[in-house]
Chain A
Amino acid sequence: MDNTHRLIQTSYKLKDSVRYRRAKNFFYDLLENPKARIRPYFDVFMILLVVSSVWVLIYDVRHDMGLFDDLFEWVAVTIFIIEYLLRFWIYNDSHEVILSHYERAEFINQPFRAWPALREVVAKKWEYMTQPLAIIDLLAIIPTYRPLRFLRIFLLFRLFKLFRYTRSISEFVKVLNEKRIELFTLFIFMAFITFTAATALFFFETDVADGKGVGSFFESIYWALVTMSTVGYGDITPHTTEGRVVTIILIIAGLGVISFFTSIIVSAFGEKMHEIRAQRVFSEVERKHIDLIVCGYGRVGQVVADQLALDQRQFVLLDPLESNVRLAKQKGYLAVQGDAADSALLESLGIATQAKRLLCLTGDDVVNVYITLSARQMNSQIEIISRANHRENVTKLRLAGADHTVAPYEIVGLIAAEYVGQPVAFEAIYGMLTGQNDVGIEAVRVRSGSVLDGRCMADVGFRQRKLIPFGVVREGGCPVGGSSGTYEIEGRCFHFNPTSDFQLQAGDLVVMFGHEYSVVHFRDCLERGTL
């Protein structure tokens, strides 16, 4: 009873202890957490240790290294043992298991019994010990124990430890694992053929004269495998006609087995390849903190991507069509092939964590609405810009949570109407407004304490700098009953064509037309504080 009590007390103490948790987290980061910064360093260190310990083993076969060998072995094994024990420790929280048992017992008013809880603790740890990688770890340590020196060959298992530290090897294993049914079928078939052929050969070739016959059943199994795999050493060869017939059949069957095996592996990698590639993109997105996701690499997506690349902005593209993804990759953009409606995919691209903007630019409004809606649910802060192919869908996109919508057909309608009405003005100004000309619209922010702060419009000297002031955007609402040239824009006030005595203040955004050189010069003057 007293012991039980002490067990629970210790468990609570561990759960409460900040230092214990911090230590455990640190080792979790070091050993397991794939996202931790420190993990790659540890992995590289362990790879070097494994490789050098195996090298020492090989070198030791022919050379005597004396004390160094033993010392090195001792250090390596100590590290391996510590690693094994740490992994054993961080696999799960034993005190949590005990406490959950205890709290359950408290809840239903039953006396707490230590044994079932402890049994579960042991079961959990046993679960860890029976994992393939944990077994490999153990096998890498055991042969060092002197009385078991004959197991030295198992030191090669240390090489298998490399699985832990390199991602590509573990991906290879994963691929094979996915095809285990096919491989198992193949193995059964192969075992059957080997056994049949070996039996037949043993039967026909044992009593051949001159002692050239097959000596044992093991030899004939060895022969069957060598023949079937098309390796054909030729150290054992059939001499009777019956034996040769068996060989012919075995060779033909062997070709089938080999090609079947190859095709399984190739197709497995083929299927897995784009997943592996996508995985690469995901990790790059995370590493580079890419916060802009573009769904759809159609015509609009292409224009946007080119423009963004010109700005040297980082973004990741998502498109279901392979041809589009290939095109994007040719241009050097980061792209994933996949359906943006798949929320798991969006999640892998960090929509809920690091993404700040999402562009839905597919040609299908239904898809755009769906993406917008699911993205908005995953992240309420993200800015969503969506393409609306039909005008009636603009409101739906807004309802789904889009911050901005862009409607290609509507734009055409607008341009067409303006063009018919007043072609000259429109042609002249449109390029300017959309940033297609050298002369364009620009905005300059008035910073507090800058030369613009508190200055009247007339004193800024726009005209000398070949700039045309268009208006000033000021935070806060418009003054009630203000002059006619003020317009409310989403909580800000736009003063169109401000009068010459209009006084600028910090936070204002001065919008002006001008050649890009003029604007650059103007900004430069502001920086230097000379107007």
Chain B
Amino acid sequence: MERSDTLIFGCGPMGQEVAEQLIGRKLPVYMYSSDLDRVAEVLAKGFDAAVLDYTDDDKLRQAGIGEWVKVIFCLFPEEAKNVFLTLSARALDSDLKIICVSESPQSGQKLFAAGASKVIDPYEISGRKVHELIARPMIVDMLEHTVFGKHLDIAEIEIPLDSCLSGNPLSALDLGRRYNVVLMGVVDVEMSDSLIFSTSGVDHKLDAGDMLVVIGPTVEITRLKGDLEEDRTDQLLGG
């Protein structure tokens, strides 16, 4: 069995959707369910899947949790199962990324308490999206076609060690002119997860390990990444 570091628990429609998206991004996934029929269904659709009793910690360990697995998705339709799985997985591995779906704000809190790293509420997001479609249709259309479509990508680019960018203030970067990208800001991973917006009053001093968050066409992002890796000062800072 090939060792996949992303596992999906729950082979329902949501599990299949997530698996499809991940495979589309060249990320191999393995699906598990306690329901034999479901597993047969997704196997028939060409996914890698197996039956697994998620209540048994030994079985979970055999599947790789606490060993090589980095991310798991808890996508059972039943809230209680998700909570149980989250708790068991968190007990086995404290660094594991556990992503759950929740049906309501209350269950979201329970999942967080059980140790989930991220809780996605599909209905909340869909509802907000419908509202956005009503309130600002133009912007939604635009985003739909660009950022969430195929034209533009959101990317995070890590500043390598000893980069020429280190020590420069965020405001000194004028990537928008040199590359066809929009620099949203930077995340100082050591400090916090939140984005330091590129035009916020705080002028963050860049250093190695910071993540630049940019939006732009794939070619431009690849060019920027390449230049960063090769540390081409002339390109990045304009001489």
A residues neighboring B (CB under 8 Å): 292, 298-304, 306-308, 311, 313, 357, 359, 361, 385, 387, 389-391, 404, 406-429, 432-436, 439, 441-443, 462-463, 466-471, 473, 484-485, 487, 489-490, 494, 496-497, 499-500, 509, 511, 513-515
**Are A497 and B216 closer than 8 Å at their CB atoms?**
yes
Given contacts A487-B151, A494-B145, contact A409 B128 (CB under 8 A): no
What does DSSP make chain A's interface, helix, strand, loop or mixed?
A: mixed
Given contacts A419-B118, A424-B187, contact A497 B139 (CB under 8 A): no
> What is the CA–CA distance of A306 and B126 in the complex, to the nearest angstrom?
13
Cβ proximity bits B132-162 to A, threshold 8 Å, 1 near / 0 not: 1111101101110111100110111000000
10 residue pairs A–B, Cβ–Cβ below 8 Å? A304-B130, A311-B131, A361-B127, A385-B133, A409-B14, A420-B97, A425-B154, A468-B184, A490-B145, A511-B139
**Are A302 and B143 closer than 8 Å at their CB atoms?**
no
Q: How far is the CB of B177 from chain A (nearest CB, A)?
A: 7
Residues of A within 8 A of B181 (CB): 497
Residues of B within 8 A of A500 (CB): 177
Residues of A within 8 A of B197 (CB): 439, 466, 513, 515
**Are B138 and A473 closer than 8 Å at their CB atoms?**
yes
Residues of A within 8 A of B182 (CB): 468-470, 496-497, 513
**Are B125 and A434 closer than 8 Å at their CB atoms?**
yes
B52 contacts A by Cβ under 8 Å: no
**Are B128 and A428 closer than 8 Å at their CB atoms?**
no
B57 contacts A by Cβ under 8 Å: no
> What is the CA–CA distance of A496 and B180 in the complex, to the nearest angstrom?
8
Residues of A within 8 A of B208 (CB): none
Instruction: Using CB atoms, name the residue of chain A closest to B129.
Output: A406
Given contacts A416-B21, A428-B195, contact A408 B125 (CB under 8 A): yes
**Are B152 and A408 closer than 8 Å at their CB atoms?**
no
Given contacts A420-B6, A420-B22, A487-B151, contact A494 B146 (CB under 8 A): yes
Instruction: Using CB atoms, name the residue of chain B closest to A410.
Output: B17
**Are B103 and A299 closer than 8 Å at their CB atoms?**
yes
Q: How far is the CB of A504 from chain B (nearest CB, A)?
A: 16
Given contacts A429-B184, A514-B199, contact A404 B133 (CB under 8 A): yes
B45-88: which have CB < 8 Å to A?
A: 71, 73
Residues of B within 8 A of A442 (CB): 139
Which of A412, A418, A514 is close to B154, meaning CB atoms less than 8 Å apart? A418
Q: How far is the CB of A424 from chain B (nearest CB, A)?
A: 5
B198 contacts A by Cβ under 8 Å: yes
Instruction: Using CB atoms, name the residue of chain A closest to B171.
Output: A463
**Are B25 and A415 closer than 8 Å at their CB atoms?**
no
Which of A304, A416, A427 is close to B22, meaning CB atoms less than 8 Å apart? A416
Which of A300, A436, A514 is close to B126, meaning CB atoms less than 8 Å apart? A300
Q: How far is the CB of B110 from chain A (nearest CB, A)?
A: 16
> What is the CA–CA distance of A468 and B129 in the complex, to the nearest angstrom?
23
**Are A412 and B120 closer than 8 Å at their CB atoms?**
yes
Q: How far is the CB of B45 from chain A (nearest CB, A)?
A: 12
**Are A409 and B13 closer than 8 Å at their CB atoms?**
yes
Instruction: Using CB atoms, name the residue of chain B closest to A499.
Output: B177
Given contacts A420-B22, A434-B128, A485-B217, contact A299 B123 (CB under 8 A): yes
**Are B201 and A466 closer than 8 Å at their CB atoms?**
yes
Residues of A within 8 A of B128 (CB): 303, 307, 434-436
**Are B13 and A428 closer than 8 Å at their CB atoms?**
no
Q: How far is the CB of B100 from chain A (nearest CB, A)?
A: 10
B211 contacts A by Cβ under 8 Å: yes
**Are A411 and B129 closer than 8 Å at their CB atoms?**
yes
Given contacts A304-B131, A411-B125, A466-B200, contact A496 B217 (CB under 8 A): yes
**Are A420 and B154 closer than 8 Å at their CB atoms?**
no
> What is the CA–CA distance of A185 and B92 in the complex, to the nearest angstrom?
74
Instruction: Using CB atoms, name the residue of chain A closest to B122.
Output: A408
Given contacts A496-B217, A497-B182, contact A421 B25 (CB under 8 A): yes
> What is the CA–CA distance of A434 and B146 in the complex, to the nearest angstrom?
14
Which of B22, B104, B134, B201 is close to A417, meaning CB atoms less than 8 Å apart? B22
**Are A428 and B194 closer than 8 Å at their CB atoms?**
yes
B18 contacts A by Cβ under 8 Å: yes
Cβ proximity bits B6-34 to A, threshold 8 Å, 1 near / 0 not: 10000001100110111011010000000
Which of A303, A391, A417, A432 is close to B131, meaning CB atoms less than 8 Å apart? A303
